[in-house]
A and B are shown apart, each in its own frame.
Chain A
Amino acid sequence: KQEVTQIPAALSVPEGENLVLNCSFTDSAIYNLQWFRQDPGKGLTSLLLIQSSQREQTSGRLNASLDKSSGRSTLYIAASQPGDSATYLCAVRKSGGGADGLTFGKGTHLIIQP
Chain B
Amino acid sequence: DGGITQSPKYLFRKEGQNVTLSCEQNLNHDAMYWYRQDPGQGLRLIYYSQIVNDFQKGDIAEGYSVSREKKESFPLTVTSAQKNPTAFYLCASSMDGLYGYTFGSGTRLTVV
A binding-site residues for B, Cβ under 8 Å? 4, 31-32, 34, 36, 41-46, 49, 51, 89, 91, 93, 97-107
Contact call A36/B103, Cβ cutoff below 8 A? yes
Q: Find B42's partner among A4, A31, A51, A97 (CB 8 Å cutoff).
A: A4
B106 touches A43 (CB 8 A): yes
A-B pairs under 8 A by CB, number: 65
Bound complex: CA of A62 vs CA of B48, how far in Å? 30
A34-B100, A36-B103, A42-B105 in contact; A101/B33 too (CB < 8 A)? yes
* Contact indicator A105/B48 (Cβ below 8 Å): no
The one of B58, B96, B99, B106 that contacts A101, using a Cβ cutoff of 8 Å: B58
Q: Could you give, for residues 27-54 of chain B, a 1 whenever the CB lies within 8 Å of some chain A CB and a 0 otherwise?
A: 0001101010000111101001110000
Chain A contact residues: helix, strand, loop or mixed: strand
Cβ-defined contact, B42 with A32, below 8 A:
no
Instruction: For residue B25, give the distance in angstroms from its CB to the closest CB of chain A.
Output: 13
Contact of A102 among B49, B98, B101, B106 (CB under 8 A): B101
Residue of A89, A93, A97, A101 contacting most chain B CB atoms (<10 Å): A101
> Which residues in B have their C-beta under 8 angstroms from that of A32?
97-98, 100
